[in-house]
A = this chain, B = another copy of it.
Amino acid sequence: MPTIQDVARRARVSTATVSRVLSTPEVVSEATRERVMAAVDALGYEPNYAAKSLRTLRTAKIVVTVPDISNPFFSSVIRGAEEAAQAAGYSVLLGDTRHSTEREEQYAGMLRRKEADGLIFLGHRLPDTLADLIGRQGAKAPVVNGCEFSPDLGVSSAHIDNAAAAVEAMDLLYDLGHRTIGVITGPLASPISRDRLEGVRVSAARHGAEAALRIATGDFSVELGEREAQGLLAGGDTPTALFCFSDEMAMGALAAARRAGHRCPDDLSLVGFDDIRFARYLDPALTTISQPMEDLGRTAVALLLDILAGRQSAARSVTLPHHLAVRGSTGPARR
């Protein structure tokens, strides 16, 4: 691999000039510039990244941690993040934490080692390492939350209005005449779940149906969606509608309902959350809250870049629009 020295020698200039040609060509004379570029091309020179990074203290990398990359919601958010990062000259270090605190800490360590310039976390847990960092640097800490909103963390974030979305979903069901409604939440440790649950309660209260709520705790996975739905549909006073906090869980719930002999939407209405690519291909097509997943990723990156550029004094939280996509899985309650 040729170094800047080789290029300098070949072009008969100093390394300083080579460096200038590559980063601030306008201060170099036309003739020299051409000579240097010729040498660069001839040798196939590319600046060594580690050397550059050591000198400039910039890595042009951001870490994105995610509890499970094989979850389509997260992979779509990552996709948006990767796109925006790439466009801004950054690359993405992927951290699949598999819900493990230890791995989260490990990835957070990359910031301390100057292995990355910033970090976006898509889960809800803020690793201790980062909490320290935020304690010291406040809003200047290069950390952004990808889709949850926890005002108390003091971290910028991109998210939708989860409570409002949940209200819309529940309102739809009540308007269709449902009374006894089952809800399968995500892990309650996550603010995203708590916000949605809050929305569920608000809507139920408004419709005087709080006592008719049937709440089960899931974890966003298709497996638990199936199991919890089975539980909800087994008891007496069976719900006539189910609201799942993720499309994956709705998929599981649909399978459970089918197995229990309920037809959707005739016997059971179903609402999901996220609007993953497959939602509309289910049978029936899934009514769901549509989140701008890629945009969440892009926005998170934009927030992080603002911090890295130093134009950010307080934590900002951006609320992106969502909408309720009404499809075939919801229908009037049968009496």
Residues of A within 8 A of B (CB): 1, 44, 46-51, 53-54, 59, 61, 64, 68-70, 72, 75-76, 78-79, 82-83, 86, 91-96, 98, 103, 106, 109-110, 112-115, 222, 226, 248, 251-252, 254-255, 258, 277-278, 281-283
Cross-chain contact of A222 among B61, B79, B278 (Cβ < 8 A):
B278
Shortest beta-carbon distance, A141 to chain B, in Å?
Answer: 14
Shortest beta-carbon distance, A249 to chain B, in Å?
Answer: 11
Number of copies: 2
Output the nearest chain B residue to A44 by Cβ-Cβ distance: B112
How long is the Cα–Cα vector from A278 to B94 in the complex, in angstroms? 23
10 A-B pairs with CB atoms under 8 Å apart are: A46-B113, A49-B59, A49-B110, A51-B54, A54-B54, A68-B79, A82-B96, A91-B95, A252-B281, A254-B283
How long is the Cα–Cα vector from A112 to B44 in the complex, in angstroms? 9
Residues of B within 8 A of A106 (CB): 86
How long is the Cα–Cα vector from A258 to B328 in the complex, in angstroms? 13
Shortest beta-carbon distance, A113 to chain B, in Å?
Answer: 4
Output the nearest chain B residue to A294 by Cβ-Cβ distance: B70
Shortest beta-carbon distance, A199 to chain B, in Å?
Answer: 26
Shortest beta-carbon distance, A277 to chain B, in Å?
Answer: 6
How long is the Cα–Cα vector from A75 to B70 in the complex, in angstroms? 5
Residues of B within 8 A of A61 (CB): 93
Output the nearest chain B residue to A63 by Cβ-Cβ distance: B91
A281, B222: Cβ atoms closer than 8 Å:
yes
Shortest beta-carbon distance, A187 to chain B, in Å?
Answer: 19
Cross-chain contact of A114 among B1, B44, B248, B281 (Cβ < 8 A):
B1
> Which 5 pairs, one residue from A and one from B, show the smallest C-beta to C-beta distance?
A50-B53, A50-B54, A94-B94, A49-B115, A49-B113
